[in-house]
Structure 1
């Protein structure tokens, strides 16, 4: 960051950082507007452009969550989240149906590759999972979309996760209180899944970091 921020710009920047730390992906313009009391998303857009001019963020045009933090992008991967490259020279693998009990990135699960670099998403994506059903439709994750997934076991309450329950892989919002875990749908027609980790098996395959609408390449990261 080469130039100082105004107090309002600092508020916007802090909200972006807070959202990315808590949920794993950046806020939309509408979410920034609601959180900071702007009259419209256009006001949020003006602040984002100012932050970009000052080098605080990088904005990817044409995406609702296309906000990147240059400081995070320049940090090398470390700790337990450091993963081998999941992408091939062809791009990110697209995972379709997942066979019971087998690794999610097994070759037989890969339908094809999407020509996007892992670094297009923040944190970087390891694979794209084709969404089945409408349990997350209220946050814009629809049937047939591709969910960009970052492989990690470091998750926080409120994040959208890819979870393996016995022989099923599902996308839900994660909440944990001690041994009790609730996987919440974003659709009132679906009941939450409640688990007790003392006797229920749960594996977190990663967190959602973006969506490609309808699997057609229109990324909403």
Structure 2
């Protein structure tokens, strides 16, 4: 049975614009950007359509930030609460779909040990089934956000960031990067002097990475965001 909310053509257009922005940069658009893209006279017109989308349950609006728009995962659920430790060769592939359901099963990565691959078995806390339609680009895993350095991009402590593995990024994209024993979420910027990892919170300083930094590695690109709501 199809219980997805029915959107008007304009609402569908805005919803797809939000998805494209997240896929391109890792963050949703501002009201002003939506208005400019769709030819609205003011950001207030964009706000009215966003409120309608929120009432229909396809997005969530957060106060206090210009990019406070989140896609909602109505079918987000835990596949296995306590994941058994099994040899990597015997583990079920996470790209599989559940029988009879158009869903992705993604591993949730917790804290990452220095020098270990981000998807090493010991880093995976549990797995979630999510709707592929939430993401314009297929993610490979979910990362639990720690801290508030990206709050002005609508990324808050405890959120689940959907990440597609990548070794290259364009300026302006939100990335997951490793610096030694720390995995961080920041906005990417390449300069002649090296790489800058930029926060979206004025209380935090940019991280400057020299071209010959031995411990820097790009782990992936942000392609979506899910609020970690209590599961029913």
Q: Deviations over 1:37-91 (max 9, x none)?
A: 434215666xx9xxxxxxxxxxx9335465xxxxxxxxxxxxxxxxxx6435562
Counterpart in the other structure of 1:216: 229
Mapped contact 2:180–2:215 kept (Cα < 8 A): yes
Deviates more, 1:117-126 or 1:20-29: 20-29
Q: Deviations over 1:111-144 (max 9, x none)?
A: 1111204453121111110011111112121111
1:171 corresponds to which of 182, 185, 195? 185
The CA deviation at 1:176 is 0.3
Counterpart in the other structure of 2:75: none
Calculate the TM-score normalised by the size of structure 1: 0.66
The CA deviation at 1:179 is 4.8
Query: Structure 2: how far apart are the matches of 1:137 and 1:169?
Result: 17
Give the alignment of 1:86-165 within 5 angstroms. 86-89=94-97, 91-165=105-179
Query: Structure 2: how far apart are the matches of 1:16 and 1:138?
Result: 16
Counterpart in the other structure of 1:32: 34
Unmatched segments (≥5 aa) in structure 1: 1-11, 49-59, 67-84
Distance of aligned partners of 1:39 and 1:97 in 2 relative to their CA distance in 1, 3 Å threshold:
closer
Q: Name the SS of the counterpart of 2:34 in structure 1.
A: helix
Mapped contact 2:143–2:160 kept (Cα < 8 A): yes
Is 1:190 aligned with 2:190? no
- Matched positions, count: 181
Mapped contact 2:31–2:43 kept (Cα < 8 A): no
The CA deviation at 1:97 is 0.8
The CA deviation at 1:20 is 6.0
Give the alignment of 1:198-213 within 5 angstroms. 198-213=212-227
Q: Name the SS of the counterpart of 1:115 in structure 2.
A: strand
Superposition RMSD on alpha carbons, in Å? 3.6
Q: Name the SS of the counterpart of 2:122 in structure 1.
A: helix
Calculate the TM-score normalised by the size of structure 2: 0.63
Query: Structure 1: how far apart are the matches of 2:131 and 2:225?
Result: 14
